[in-house]
Amino acid sequence: MSDTRRAERREQILNAAWSCFQREGLHATTMDDIISASGLSSGAVYGYFPSKEALILAAVTVSLSGIRDLLDPLLKRDPLPPPETLLCEITSTIERFTERDGFDLKRIALLGWSEAQRNPQLRATMRGFYMAFRDKLAQAGRTWAETGLISPQSSSDDVSKALLAVILGFVVQAALLGDVAPAAIGVGVAQLSLFSQPSSRSRRSGRGQTPVREKK
């Protein structure tokens, strides 16, 4: 059997799995659900994925790759758009990913995060993905600092954490509340800080109860 055919079958199964996972959640989906949806026999499915866990891992990994392939080009542009614009583009891309394939990436992400709590391999995969993504955001932060779009004193580490938080938070909020347009987030972030004081002052604003954060 050709590699192409095998890859096709794997995708066929993975697609079936995703549509079930999305409808029922990761655990409430039974292998029989996936098997029926895939149109194959149980034995055939197990010939491609050795266990339900492997199927979940593969499904998450493939989703992660898919979204990375869409997001990476946005971050590699020269010149890089300013923060608010980039943010809008990222959230819009996430939103469009959903619309195109019929899979709601946002809901899927929530399922994966939950599962990662108790599946070490999945957790490792996810950590790897998000860490790498945040590194790219940090690079963007440095680029902005160099080109004067944000303060030259800014910490690329903090900036990347804030950016990632905003993006992940968009995903959660959109999945749970469903009334968040992709552009709203970028706009809101911009408005939020327009009149903020210089960050040197912010640093001092930490109160006793605020854990001291490591300087990078």
Partner DNA sequence: GATGAATGAGTCTTCATTCAT
Partner DNA sequence: AATGAATGAAGACTCATTCAT
Which residues in the 42-61 window bind DNA by CB under 7 A? 42-44, 46-48, 50-53
Is there a contact between 184 and 190 (Cβ–Cβ < 8 Å)?
no
19 lines the binding site for DNA (CB under 7 A): no
Site map for a copy of itself, 193-212, x if CB under 8 A? Answer: xxxxxxx--xx-xxx-xxxx
110 binds, among a copy of itself, DNA, none (CB under 5 to 8 A by kind): a copy of itself
Q: According to CB under 8 A, which residues from 111 to 130 bind a copy of itself?
A: 111, 113-118, 123, 126-127, 130
Q: What would the DSSP string read from start to end of 67-129?
A: HHHHHHHHHT-SSPPPHHHHHHHHHHHHHHHHHHHS--HHHHHHHHHHHHTT-HHHHHHHHHH
Q: Closest CB to a copy of itself among 27 and 68?
A: 27
Tokens of 52: 């339900």
Residues 20-79 that bind a copy of itself (CB under 8 A): 22-28
Question: Which of the listed partners (a copy of itself, DNA, none) does 30 bind, with a CB threshold of 5 to 8 Å by partner kind?
Answer: DNA
Could you write out the three-class secondary structure of 113-133?
Answer: HHHHCCCHHHHHHHHHHHHHH
Listed in sequence order, the residues at least 6 apart from 6 whose beta carbon sits closer than 8 Å to its beta carbon are 48
Chain positions contacting DNA, by CB under 7 A: 1, 6, 9, 28-32, 35, 40-44, 46-48, 50-53
